[in-house]
Amino acid sequence: MATNTPHSMATEYLPMFIAGPGETDVFFIVIVVIVILVAMLFGALYLTLHALPEKMAHRVNSTQILLIGVLSLIALFMHNNYFFIAALLLAVVRLPDWTTPLNSIAKSLEAQLLIFSTNPPTPPETKAKASPAKPKTKRAMATKKAKSTSRGA
């Protein structure tokens, strides 16, 4: 009972995006495909943007790259720009490497400990030298005498 003739109240010219009865709506399918592609494009752009701090900090020390990765991940899930800006700033600024010198100091101290535990150092011999007596002045003797008299009173 479906005919391809338009309704008597319809205008004679119908736009191309209006599908006839029983026909496939091509315009709807095209729009759905375009929306899906744009959504995927924006998603890829969004994820690429959030991976930017990690790409920038590719050759920094491991502690800094871990911190940048955590900040980027928090920014990705929380949609909070402060974490993303902090990750970008941390990726741009090169933090000094504190662990390498500290590890070197620790290894040196450990090596010295191993050496001294097998061969304990002998203390140097000290010679008992008689120190000359300091000459007493009248003032020192007077203060000593004043102290002894104050104790006795």
In 3D space, the residue among 48, 93, 107 whose CA is nearest the CA of residue 72 turns out to be 48
Length of the chain counted residue by residue: 153
In this prediction, residues 107-127 reach a mean pLDDT of: 77
Give the pLDDT band (50/70/90) at residue 30.
very high
Tokens standing for residue 58: 């590719």
* DSSP-derived 3-state class of residue 66: helix
pLDDT (tens digit per residue) in 67-78: 888 888 888 888
- Average predicted confidence (pLDDT) for the chain: 79
Asked if 4 contacts 21 with a C-beta cutoff of 8 angstroms, the reply is yes
**Do residues 95 and 64 touch, judged by C-beta distance below 8 A?**
yes
Instruction: Read off the pTM.
Output: 0.47
* pLDDT given at position 16: 76
Q: Are 95 and 66 in contact (CB under 8 A)?
A: no
What does the alpha-carbon distance between residue 44 and residue 51 come to, in Å, rounded to a whole number?
11
Contact in structure between 87 and 72 (CB atoms under 8 Å): yes
Q: What is the pLDDT of residues 43-60, one digit of tens each?
A: 999 888 888 888 888 777
